[in-house]
Every structure is written in structure tokens, then in C-alpha cells.
Structure 1
Amino acid sequence: MRLWIGLHLPLLPLEVFAPSWSIDTGSVVLERERVLQASPSALDAGVHAGMRRGGVVMLLPDARVHVRAPGLEADALQAVALTLLQYTPQVTDGEEATLLLDVGASLRLFGGVRALCRRVHASVRALGFTASLACAPTARGAWLMARANAGRVVQVESLLRRLDRLAVALMPASRPFADWFDGIACRTLGDLRRLPRPGLQRRCGRALLDQLDAAYGLTVELFKWISPPETFRARLELYDRIDDAELLLAGAQCLLAQLTGWLCARQLAVERIVLQLEHERGRVARAPTCVDVVLAEPTWRDEHLVRLLRERLGRLVLEAPVIGLVLEAMQVRPMAPPNASLFPEPGGSDDDRMRMLELLAARLGPENVLQPLPVADYRSDQANVWVPVQQKVSDKARNAQLPPDVTSLPRPTWLLPSPIALLMKGHYPFYGTPLRLVSSAERIEAGWWDGPEARDYFVAEGQDHALYWVYRERIGTSEDGPRWFVHGLFG
């Protein structure tokens, strides 16, 4: 299933300087000496968008006033994108302070769309930003819903209804023609879709139709995915001077979240990190204080790193106030593949496992702790025997192979302890549903020394697409003709 998450960060210029984990005494961002964004406390005091600087100072004398910094906005958006790479490698910049994530392949890993959205929103909040989040089956649809804070939809039918109610002004290509749309009472995307396409293209150009078709899933969009850098180095400018080392943990968590996204995107695990605490510059400048953390085992999750930094910062005495944090990954290595052994304790050896098996055999009895021993036999139910785990088995017996002419034939993953007789309905074997033969016959005639067998084996498929290994007796023992049996199941 194709599903996109759109993430719009409307307070991005403000939150760069005043993260949500700081104490909000009132902050505003100015562009051309007018208010562009304001924090909740500033809005409560009467500050609104478009107000001049003098009005802000009159209402909030202690307000933090910042001039919009596009460079810092871009850096902050890049930090958010780097953090979100831990959920999907397909993250792209959707313009106008919006990120788009293709999460269709990540839903099962993170427990579904609701759980994934909660984790994405929590990661953004941990970085100190507020955002409006939306989900949609199309990228442009997710972008529009995120800009309108219109919630989540998964089905295409629901997306069409939700988009029809959105304002035309949300579409970037429609804004130069806002007066014309208002004059003809075209206020929603649903109204826009009902206009004649040839006339709309002559009046507004092809770009508007392309964006409209992309939102409704009528055309294919191409994206340039955000690529993580070769090495990791992230910096955070603190909102004030910090004299207590324990208060730096919140800022360090922001950098660790970015590190987690970078490690997941690069498929790496970190062995050593260095957190630099930057002090005052100028005449009283001093070298940064370095907190070096070396791990016994590589990791790519930030929970363990947070615990280690909490312990280190709790014992650290600052010699000067801190104004910035820098986190670097000094030593990394490829992620270790999952351990496929049944008992994946680190450091375990063959001798350790054998001692454990011997202990189990002593407690449970030798007849209850067995090992498989392959046998070169055409009959599948005779091709393996179980022997006590303490029995010495030669390498020749352990590596026994079926004859070469049998190795290419299908064999089931699960063999039943004994074959189960099948019913016949309409000249077809029946096992829950009618079975359809999907392979040619494999004839087995052997075992004259311990009970002769004469069977024709087939691979059969049920209506639920499950595959079974069935056989037909070549020597019928009933008056109705040869009987059918199911002998195994394919994985």
C-alpha cells in the first residue's frame, strides 16, 4: 500500500531559537519589521501576525524578538529530515517548510499508520518543533492536508472527499489567480475540478492542472530523496547560557535523535560518540568541553546513548557556561545481521551449547533431547530419523543426500506424522476446499524390504492458495478405486 506522511512545520523560524522544551516567556519572529510567527504566550498577550515591532514591545516588554533567518530554517528542516530517516529512507523536501515521507513499506514494522504517526510526531516534538501531520495515498494530497491540518486518510475514496473541501488558495500554482477564482466563486478544490480543463489551462497554465492531478492520484510524481551525509556531525545553538550540565541533556537528545536517523539510513552502528560543549567566544573564549562515550557493543538506538549521557552529564562540573552543543560519531561499523541461532547469547561456543544440551538430556532423559539424522531414501517419511543428541554421528551420515534425480523435485516443509485420507468430491480430492493439482506426478515405488509403497505424488493447491503434498495409491485397496492422501504442507 502506498501511503505518504506530510509534515508541515509552521513555527519553524520561531522554534529554531525557542525550542518547546524551553520556558516560553513570549517569542515572536519578524519579517520586514512585522510579526510573522508568535509563540502561544505571545498570542495570548494580544500579539498577532502583521503587528509591528513597536506593538509587540508595548504588549510584551520582555518578549524575545527574532528576525527571520532562512539559513537557520533550512538547517532546522534538514535536522528534522535526518531524524525521520529512521522511519523510512524515502524522505523529500516538499517545499514551503513541509517534508514528505513515503511510509507504505514501514507500516508493518512500526505497528500500523496510527502508531507510526505517533512516533513521527514524538520525534519532531523531541527536536523542539511543532508540526501539523497528515497522511494520504498521494504525496501532493499529503502536502495539501498537512498545510490545512486536515488529518489522516488511507483510502483513495476518502482522500477525494477530503480534498474537495480544501481551499483553492492552498495550491501554490493557484495563488497568482486568487482574485479571479474569488470572482467566479471557485473557493474549494472541488469547485476547481468542475471547471472546464481546456479553459482552465489557457487561463492559469499547465502547472495548476499538474498539481491538481498529482493530488488526486491521476499522475505520477518524481522526487529527489534526501541523502544522509557520509559522516555525522550535528550542532545545536542553545537558547540561553546553561550553567548546569544536567540541563544539557534535553539538547543532547535532539542531537541523538538525528544520529539515530543517520545511522538507520546508512545502516551503521556507532561505537564511539563525542559531545562537545561549546563555551563563550571572544576574549573569554575557551576550548570546548568534550564528553567522550565509548560503547562496549555497537548500537544504533538512542535510548542506551541517552542513559549513558545522563550519567556522564550528571557527574560533570562545568567550568564555564555552555552556549552550544556539537555531537560527532567518531567510530561506526556496519550493522550486525540478526543472529539466526536458536540461543543467541553473545560469546556462546559449540562447547557451551553442547554442555547445555547435556544438562537438558540429564534432566529430561536422553530420549527427549534428539537431533535429526538425514537418510538417503526416496521416501520422504523415511529420509530423516531422530537420534539422541549424545549419540556420535559421523560426518558421512550427517551429510547424507538424496539421490541426484530427486533433489530437483518439490518436497514439503512440514511432513505429517502419518498421511490423512482425503474425501472425493466431483472426482477431485477435498481437504477443507477442493484441491487442484498443479504439478506432474512423481512416482515412488520402494520399500519392498519393510513394506512396499506404490504412490503417485502431486503438489495440490486449495482455494486459499495453500499448497499440499498429496498422493494417490497406485494399488487400490477399496472398491471405489485408488484413494487419495495428504502427506505434507509447503511453507
Structure 2
Amino acid sequence: MTLWLCLRVPELALEVFQRAGGDDDARVVAEGGTVSAANRPARRAGVAPGQRVSAARALVPRLLCHERDPAAEARALRQLAAWSLQFTPVVSPQRPDALLLEIGGSLRYFGGLERLRTTIADGVAGLGYRPLTSLAPTPTAAWLLARAGDTTAATTQTESDAALTQLPVAVLALEQPRHHEELTGLGCETLGDVLALPRDGLARRFGHTLLRQLDRAHGRHADPRHPWQPPPRYRAEITLPRESGDRELIARGLERLLGELCGYLSGLGRGVQRLELRLHHVPRGASTARVGLLAPSRDAAHLLTLARERLERLALSGPVQSLTLLAGDLQPLAPESPALLPGAREETPWHGLVERLSTRLGEETVNGLHTRSEHRPERAWHYVAPGRGGGTPAPNPARPLWLLDPPRALTVSAETPAWHGPLTLHDGPERIESGWWDGQDVARDYYVASNPGGERLWVYRERGHARGWFLHGLFA
């Protein structure tokens, strides 16, 4: 079954400025000095679209006014399109404020129509928008229903046709704005009235756009939609409701961005391992926070925890106006499996702790260790990123977990080295002679030893001129 869902955000022009918070502030969007959209607090105070901004400010002296930003609206629509890919691969933006999703093939996977529809609407609301959804067998019909604010679930062409006939002619996208008035002058108030007129006369007077639109809506004409393709690198932006250094407000904006990202990652079947957050200041400049993960993730709560840790330690050079989130190193990630038993949950993996420590203390302060092919013990290891391997070490004799840097000279009595008492030598000697090529050559005989207290030690005797004894390591 082919079924299209139109996801429309009627107040997108306004919500791009307030979806990170700030719903309690009276706020409007203006075009050319005239209010084009007003939020609920502003409307309660008497502000309405069509008013001059000066008149609106007389009603609400502390009114927040934004000039309409079509570019920001287009970005927001693209970000919603990326988020929507988790529900269907066929997503088609319908500017200025809607998306078309072909969901017929997704119904069974998401538990049926009503559950999927609710999941989509709730998810969009969680991103800071107030959506409405309409359903029809053709994309044009779903879009026309959404433009009229009709949320009927018309799942068959018969139901869709009946719903379309009741829509006002104002929902049609016509070649000329005056065509709406001309249709009204002909006595057409609904699409049903338009359909009752002779087709030839409609084509001559209004062009073929009108008839083609109606035929597509009613399934009489092909209505192809090209699936939207996301850009190769993920980038998303959000404007804060006001310029601020309030980290809680910034974190709320970040939470919206991460919600969008994780929806996108779910659609790709991938997780992210590197995040970059840019905080754009007023009047200029930006602060940057980076987060690295040991393993790919699309857990929005976990990513937010790490990002907040980094954000708390970031020095801001001024008030923040907007945020940009960049995601890199997207890796395949298996879908999450439900727990076998109700209430069961997996233990937090060790790398979750390491990620939090790295975020809190700085990536350069938390490292892993790995051996490398080198005979000199003090050079036989190196730092690696936590969780990253450094190759398979060659088999070696037993080595202590802890090396002393530098080795500690031992006292010698009657040719017997001592450390908290005389040492008993057990295994050895293991002769190591290496490093002549880099000027750091060593010539040593190593032994495993113990003292009267039972400590197991790794000691060596210098060969050559300085034949002293040294403690180099401690066994656990």
C-alpha cells in the first residue's frame, strides 16, 4: 500500500527562533515592518499577523522581534528531513514548511499506522516544533490536506477524494496570486466547486498547473517525488531564543540538535564517534567544543552527558547567539536488541566511564597503553587512544606490571643485592643488549627476585664497566 504522510510545521518561521526554549516570551516574526507570525504570549497580549511592528510594540513593550529568515527555515526543514530518514528512505521536502514521507512500507515495522503517526508527531514535538500530520494515498493530496489543517487519515483514494472536495480553494498552489480571487469570483469556495467546472475552461483561464495539481491529488496523474539525499557531512544549526551565556539554555539547544542527529543516525544504521560543537558569539567569533567517543553511539542521552561535561569547562568569549553541530566518523552500528527479561539492562561498558573521564579531564590526560616490538623494557610500550589496539605483541618472558622510571639503585652486601632485605634470585639471567644504533644502548642481565617480605621484583645487573644492581619493576 502506498501511503503518504505530510508532516507540516505551520509556525516554522517562528519556531526556528524559539524551539530551543523561550516559549514564555512574547515573540513575533516580521517582514518589512509587518508582523507575519506571533507566538501565544504575543497573541494573548493582542498582537496579530498583519499588524505593524510599531503597533505590536505599543501593546507589548518588551516584545522580541525577529526578521523572517527563509535560509534558517530551509535549514530547519533539511534537518527535519534528515531526522525523518529513520522512518522511511523516501522523504521529500515541500517548502516552505512541510515534508512528505512515503510510509506505506514502514507501517508493519513501526507497529501500525496510528503508532507510527504518533511516534513521528511526538518526535517532532520533542525537537521543539508544533507539527500536524495528514495522510493520503498521493503526496499532493496529503500536502493539500495539511495546508488546510485537516488531520484526517485518508488511507484510501475514496476517502481522500471525499476529503479534498471539502478543502477551501486557498490551499491550491496557483500560478498567479490573483487566481484565488478569480476562483472565488466564479463561486468556487471549495475544491469540489472547482472540480465541477469544465476542464477546458479552467485550463484556458488558469493554465495547466491547476488541473495538473488536482489530477495528482486525485491519483489521475503521476505524482513522482525524488527522495531527498543528505549531504556527505552532517551539519545542523539552531538559533537560541535570546543571546545568552546561560549554559542551561545552551544545553537545551544542544539537546534538540542531538535529537535530530540521533534520528538521522538511526535511519543510516550508524553511530557517531566525533562531535564538534560551535557556539557563535555576539557580535562575532565562536567557541568550539569537541567530544570523542571510544565506540560509535547514537544514544542521545549519553552524547548529551558528554557534551555537557565539555560545555561546562568551555570558556565563552561572549553571549551565544546560535549553535552548530558537526558530526564526523560515522560508523556502522547494529540495531539495539530488546532485553531478554523485562526490566533487565546491560551494565554500562567500561568505555562509557573512559569517555566521561576524557570529556571531563581532557582527551590528552586519559590514555591506553600498548606494547610494541622493542627489547628495551622502558621503550617496549607506548600511549594509545583508549580502546585502540597497537598491534599484537610478540610473546615475551614474564614482565612486571609496574616499571620504575628511572630504575632504582640497590645496595649490595657480600655481592648480594638488597631491597627491604637481601634478595633471592629465581629466574634468570635474561640478557638484553640493544639500542646501539640510537645512542641509548643497554647491556643488562635481568632476574626475577624476591625479598624476605615476599615481594616479587624485577632486577637487573649492569654489564660492562658499571656493574651495579638496579630495581626496574614490581610484580603484582
Tell me if both proteins adopt one fold, taking TM over 0.5 as the criterion.
yes
Maintained 8 Å contact 1:256/1:302: yes
Aligned equivalent of 1:213: 215
Aligned equivalent of 1:466: none
Find the residue that maps to 2:184 and give its secondary structure: helix
Change in Cα spacing, 1:195 to 1:27, as seen in structure 2 (3 Å) is same
Change in Cα spacing, 1:133 to 1:266, as seen in structure 2 (3 Å) is same
Change in Cα spacing, 1:247 to 1:38, as seen in structure 2 (3 Å) is closer
Aligned equivalent of 2:328: 330
> 1:365-410 deviations in whole A, cap 9, x for unaligned?
xxxxxxxxxxxxxxxxxxxxxxxxxxxxxxxxxxxxxxxxxxxxxx
Is residue 120 of structure 2 the alignment partner of residue 120 of structure 1? yes
Aligned equivalent of 2:47: 47
Change in Cα spacing, 1:191 to 1:119, as seen in structure 2 (3 Å) is same
How do 1:59-458 residues align onto structure 2 when only pairs under 5 Å count?
59-151=59-151, 152-173=153-174, 175-282=177-284, 288-295=287-294, 297-309=295-307, 316=313, 318-320=315-317, 321-336=319-334
Maintained 8 Å contact 2:20/2:240: no
Change in Cα spacing, 1:306 to 1:182, as seen in structure 2 (3 Å) is same
- Unpaired runs of at least 5, structure 2: 341-345, 348-476
TM-score of the aligned structures, taking structure 2 as reference length: 0.65
Shift of 1:273: 2.2
Change in Cα spacing, 1:246 to 1:318, as seen in structure 2 (3 Å) is farther
Find the residue that maps to 1:56 and give its secondary structure: helix
Within 1, Cα distance between the matches of 2:142 and 2:290?
41
Shift of 1:318: 5.0
Shift of 1:6: 0.9
Letter in 2 for 1:195: L
Within 2, Cα distance between the matches of 1:117 and 1:161?
21
Shift of 1:55: 0.8
Letter in 1 for 2:34: R
Maintained 8 Å contact 1:228/1:265: no
Task: Tell me the number of residue pairs that the alignment of Structure 1 and Structure 2 aligns.
Answer: 337
Find the residue that maps to 1:160 and give its secondary structure: helix
Shift of 1:172: 1.0
Letter in 2 for 1:292: V
Letter in 1 for 2:333: M
Maintained 8 Å contact 2:244/2:321: yes
Moved more, 238-247 or 160-169: 238-247
Within 1, Cα distance between the matches of 2:336 and 2:25?
49
Within 2, Cα distance between the matches of 1:278 and 1:176?
43
Change in Cα spacing, 1:205 to 1:248, as seen in structure 2 (3 Å) is same
Maintained 8 Å contact 2:87/2:106: yes
Maintained 8 Å contact 2:287/2:316: no
Find the residue that maps to 2:265 and give its secondary structure: helix
Within 2, Cα distance between the matches of 1:178 and 1:159?
22
CA RMSD after TM alignment: 2.6
Change in Cα spacing, 1:328 to 1:178, as seen in structure 2 (3 Å) is closer
Within 2, Cα distance between the matches of 1:24 and 1:302?
26
Change in Cα spacing, 1:96 to 1:272, as seen in structure 2 (3 Å) is closer
Letter in 2 for 1:136: A
- % identical equivalent positions: 37
Shift of 1:18: 2.1
Within 1, Cα distance between the matches of 2:120 and 2:335?
26
TM-score of the aligned structures, taking structure 1 as reference length: 0.63
Shift of 1:99: 1.4
Change in Cα spacing, 1:264 to 1:17, as seen in structure 2 (3 Å) is same
- Unpaired runs of at least 5, structure 1: 347-491
